Every structure is written in structure tokens, then in C-alpha cells.
């Protein structure tokens, strides 16, 4: 057997990686090494592996491309763009007969995420495709804002996680990507046009496999991605002019961007020579306005729409406890101790792995509203949590392996349980 001459490139190399069967082609790795997780479509062989208490994704790929993608993912991770976290690159692999084997790129598996095909293999709402497209449009805008040209935008190259009643999209394949100082209109347009073409094809494939509702218009959904992208890009980048007396519109523009989930770190404000017109344009726009605010107040690191929902509940708690004049951070920590943590702790430990804590809290709030409507009275949160666990959560699959029903469908499930 030829001697292996493995080379591991990683920020923090893990010697335990050497224990994996690198002398075997990835497609032939034994079942006892692999983690049973759903996989998306890939032009390369990809396997999930249980390793050191976590799951890693391993992709066989050419050496040059592996190093390039590893560096691109590191850049995206550093600037906090939603993408998989790179672990390292391994080269120098050889089979027992001496044949050279391809290099591998290793990334961390994104917990509680799924490829789009796994989502459509279940009974999800008919508008699931639209919600995925919305998430992908937001991701594409975020990538373009930082100067990243994707080059192969598709549902297949994206992973999705729940974010309250919507989804959050993560880039999982940067093989064709490239980082620039800024993108030209042509580069952005090509990315968007390619996304539209790929998505229409992927949705048609789902229709052919009877995984998509027959009433879904695949072309209309592809067109919707373009419209959503253009609307969001304009809101974040287009210059706005108004009379100098309407200075309130500066604050209104910032509030509008905050509502979209973006912070404005810098504005460019210019006036005409005679001072009659004012023009403003965002210069630095950072995504994650609500999640950053919640993290600052409570230390909870969650998705953007989850954070928005939790901040709304925090505001309700502040009003209900008559603490509007107290410091916001003090009230927020009280809310975590008295509302958020007790609600999550009310879920049996063996059921907590079904959903992320923030998503659990969001769905319990939804469930509370639903059963309060049924009972025609305000249901206390502890009672709602108990009802949710017994009537909804126990019947859901573990979401770190497969996503279950969205919050909007829990009423149907409850009706079946009660029957």
C-alpha cells in the first residue's frame, strides 16, 4: 500500500481528520462513517460525516478549485455573509493501488438547514417556493452589496433555514464565485438572469417529480425573483432627492431600511448649489438590523425575522410590566430570565432538538395566538407552551435532520390530533 502524503490546510487543523479513510474514493466511504442527512444536487461527490461531535460536509473537487473556494468562503465568513463555514482542504490522497485521488474541501454542516429538494419532499404550504425565492433574493442582494459575484445562482447551491414564518438562505457552493471591490451592473444582471433561468428549470423538475403543486407557475416564480431583487436593491442603493424643507425624509429613509432588516452605517447627503434640493444615498448598508439589536440587548444570536418577533414580544413585556422608563438592556435581561428561558425550559429536553430555540419560541407565540382565538380568552404563555409541546411538537420530525410543517399549518395538525 503506497504511503499517504496528506496535506491539511486549515485555520485550526484537527489531527483527528487523519483517522478518516482518505485512501478511499468519497463515493465508496463506509456507512458507519457517514451521517444520514438529506443532500442536494451537486456536480461533485459530497458526503456528510460525523466527526468530533459535529457534522462536516466533504466535497471531492480539483485541488486548485478547492483552495480557491476555501479562500472565498473564508472571506464571506469574515464579513458575516450567510454561507457555510470552511474547515479546510486536504490534498495528497492516494488509493491503495497508488492512484491519485481528488482533493477535498471540508465545510461545517449548517445545522437545522436543508436543500430545497428535501423541503419539497414534505407537505409544505403551496407558497413555499415563493418564500424560498424571497430568501434567495435577499441573499443575492447581500452578496452583491459586498462585491461577491456568484456565477451560478440556483436553489441547488443554497441551503435554507427557518426564520420565523419565512426562510433564511445560505450560500453553500462558491466554486464559480469571485470577490470584487464592487460589481458592475452587467455582473449583477448576469447573476440575476442566471438565477431566474436556473430556478425555473429546478421548479419544473420538481413539478415533473410531482413534488410541486400543479397550480404553481414556475416562470412567474422565476420572474418574481428578479422583481424582488430589483425592489430590494433599489431600496438599499438608489439615491433619493427631496426639498430641503423635508429633512424628516432622511430619518424616514433610515427607518424604511431598518424595516427591511438593514442598518445604515453611513449616508451621503448633498445639496444643490442654492440649497433647495437635498439628495441622500446609503453608502454603508449592513444586514441584520434586528438580530444585532437583540444580540446587543440579550446576548441571543438568532435569525433576522426571529429577532424581529422576539423584540416585539420584548416590547409587549415592557408595556405589560410598566417598565417603559427603565433602561432597555435591563428590561431585556429580565425578559430573557422571566419569559424566554422559562418558555424554552418548558419544552422537554428530548424534544428541543426538533427546532432551534428561537424558532421554538416563535412557534409557541403563534400557537398561543391560535388557541387564544379558539378559547376567546388570553392564554398564559406557560399554558400555551404545554399545549404546543403536546399537540404540535411531539408530532414533528427533528429539524436538524428534516424540516417539518411551517407554523401556519399547525392548526391543521391540531385538528387531526383532537379528532
- pLDDT for 125: 64
pLDDT at position 176: 92
pLDDT band at 250 (very low <50, low <70, confident <90, very high): confident
pLDDT at 371 over 50: yes
- Distance between CA atoms of 62 and 21, rounded to whole angstroms? 18
**Residue range 257-279: average pLDDT?**
80
Global pTM value? 0.76
pLDDT, residue 417, reads 33
* Average pLDDT of the residues in 32-59: 80
- Please give the distance of CA 407 from its chain centroid, rounded to a whole number: 17
The mean pLDDT of the chain is 85
Distances (CA, A) of 330 to 324, 325, 327, 361: 11, 11, 5, 21
Answer yes or no: is pLDDT of 156 > 60: yes
Q: What is the pLDDT of residue 397?
A: 67
What pLDDT is stored for residue 365 in this prediction? Answer: 92
Over residues 239-247, the mean pLDDT reads 81
pLDDT of residue 406: 42
For residues 354-368, give the mean pLDDT.
91
Q: Are 305 and 166 in contact (CB under 8 A)?
A: yes
Cell numbers for 125, please give them.
404550504
Most confident of 142-146, 260-264, 284-288: 142-146
| Residues across the chain | 419
Which of 197-201, 295-299, 346-350, 407-411 is least confident?
407-411
- As a whole number of angstroms, the longest Cα–Cα distance in the chain is 82
Whether the pLDDT of residue 419 is over 50: the answer is: no
- Higher-confidence residue of 198 and 353: namely 198
Q: Are 7 and 91 in contact (CB under 8 A)?
A: yes
Sheet holding 262-271, edge to edge: 240-243, 277-287, 262-271
Q: For residue 399, what pLDDT is reported?
A: 52
Q: Flag whether pLDDT at 408 surpasses 80.
A: no
* 276, pLDDT greater than 60: yes
Q: What's the pLDDT score for residue 411? A: 40
Whether the pLDDT of residue 41 is over 70: the answer is no
Q: Looking at per-residue confidence, does 116 or 171 come out higher?
A: 171
Q: Is 108 exposed, middle or buried (0-12, 13-18, 19+ CB in 10 A)?
A: middle
Per-residue pLDDT band for 416 (boundaries 50, 70, 90) equals very low
Which stretch of 89-98, 269-278, 292-301, 314-323 has the lowest confidence by average pLDDT? 269-278
In the chain, % of residues over pLDDT 90: 42
Mean pLDDT of 326-337: 92
Q: Which of 133-137, 139-143, 256-260, 271-275 has the lowest mean pLDDT?
A: 271-275
Helix (H, G, I), strand (E, B) or coil at 323: coil
Percent of the chain surpassing pLDDT 70: 91
pLDDT in tens, 196-215: 999 999 989 888 888 887 77
pLDDT of residue 340: 95
**pLDDT value for 126:** 62
Strands 262-271 and 240-243: unpaired
Q: Which of 60-69, 75-84, 345-354, 404-413 has the lowest mean pLDDT?
A: 404-413
Nine-digit cell string for 275: 440649497
Judge whether residue 272 has pLDDT over 50: yes
CA distance 392 to 411: 9
pLDDT at residue 413, rounded to an integer? 36
> In the predicted model, is pLDDT for residue 410 greater than 60?
no
354 pLDDT exceeds 60? yes
Residue 2 has pLDDT above 60, yes or no: no
Cα–chain-centroid distance for residue 38? Answer: 17
The pLDDT assigned to 409 comes to 42
Amino acid at each position: 500500500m503506497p504511503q499517504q502524503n496528506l496535506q491539511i490546510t486549515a485555520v485550526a487543523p484537527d489531527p483527528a481528520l487523519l483517522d478518516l479513510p482518505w485512501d478511499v474514493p468519497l463515493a465508496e466511504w463506509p456507512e458507519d462513517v457517514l451521517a444520514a442527512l438529506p443532500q442536494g444536487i451537486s456536480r461533485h461527490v459530497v458526503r456528510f460525516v460525523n466527526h468530533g461531535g459535529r457534522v462536516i460536509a466533504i466535497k471531492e473537487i480539483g485541488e486548485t478549485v478547492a483552495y480557491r473556494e476555501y479562500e472565498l468562503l473564508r472571506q464571506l465568513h469574515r464579513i458575516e455573509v450567510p454561507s457555510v463555514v470552511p474547515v479546510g482542504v486536504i490534498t495528497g490522497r492516494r488509493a491503495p493501488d497508488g492512484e491519485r485521488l481528488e482533493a477535498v474541501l471540508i465545510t461545517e454542516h449548517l445545522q437545522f438547514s436543508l436543500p430545497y429538494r428535501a423541503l419539497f419532499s414534505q407537505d409544505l404550504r403551496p407558497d413555499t417556493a415563493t418564500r424560498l425565492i424571497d430568501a434567495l433574493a435577499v441573499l443575492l442582494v447581500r452578496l452583491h452589496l459586498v462585491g461577491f459575484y456568484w456565477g451560478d445562482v440556483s436553489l441547488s447551491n443554497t441551503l435554507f433555514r427557518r426564520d420565523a414564518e419565512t426562510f433564511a438562505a445560505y450560500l453553500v457552493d462558491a466554486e464559480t464565485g469571485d470577490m470584487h471591490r464592487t460589481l458592475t451592473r452587467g455582473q449583477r444582471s448576469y447573476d440575476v438572469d442566471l438565477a431566474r433561468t436556473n430556478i425555473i428549470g429546478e421548479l419544473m423538475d420538481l413539478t415533473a417529480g410531482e413534488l410541486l403543486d400543479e397550480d404553481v407557475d414556475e416562470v412567474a416564480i422565476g420572474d418574481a425573483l428578479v422583481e424582488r431583487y430589483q425592489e430590494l436593491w433599489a431600496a438599499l442603493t438608489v439615491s433619493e432627492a427631496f426639498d430641503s424643507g423635508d429633512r424628516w425624509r432622511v430619518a424616514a429613509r433610515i427607518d424604511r431600511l431598518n424595516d427591511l432588516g438593514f442598518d445604515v452605517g453611513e449616508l451621503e447627503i448633498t445639496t444643490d448649489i442654492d440649497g433647495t434640493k437635498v439628495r441622500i444615498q446609503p453608502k454603508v448598508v449592513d444586514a441584520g438590523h434586528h438580530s444585532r439589536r437583540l444580540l446587543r440587548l440579550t446576548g441571543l444570536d438568532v435569525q433576522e425575522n426571529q429577532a424581529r418577533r422576539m423584540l416585539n414580544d420584548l416590547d409587549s413585556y415592557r408595556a405589560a410590566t410598566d417598565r417603559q422608563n427603565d433602561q432597555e438592556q435591563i428590561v431585556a435581561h429580565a425578559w430573557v430570565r422571566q419569559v424566554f428561558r422559562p418558555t424554552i425550559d418548558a419544552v422537554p429536553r428530548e424534544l428541543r432538538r426538533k427546532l432551534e430555540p428561537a424558532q421554538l419560541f416563535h412557534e409557541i407565540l403563534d400557537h398561543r395566538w391560535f388557541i387564544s382565538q379558539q378559547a376567546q380568552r388570553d392564554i398564559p404563555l406557560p399554558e400555551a407552551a404545554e399545549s404546543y409541546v403536546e399537540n404540535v411538537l411531539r408530532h414533528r420530525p427533528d429539524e436538524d435532520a428534516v424540516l417539518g410543517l411551517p407554523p401556519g399549518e399547525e392548526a391543521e395538525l391540531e385538528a387531526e390530533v383532537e379528532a
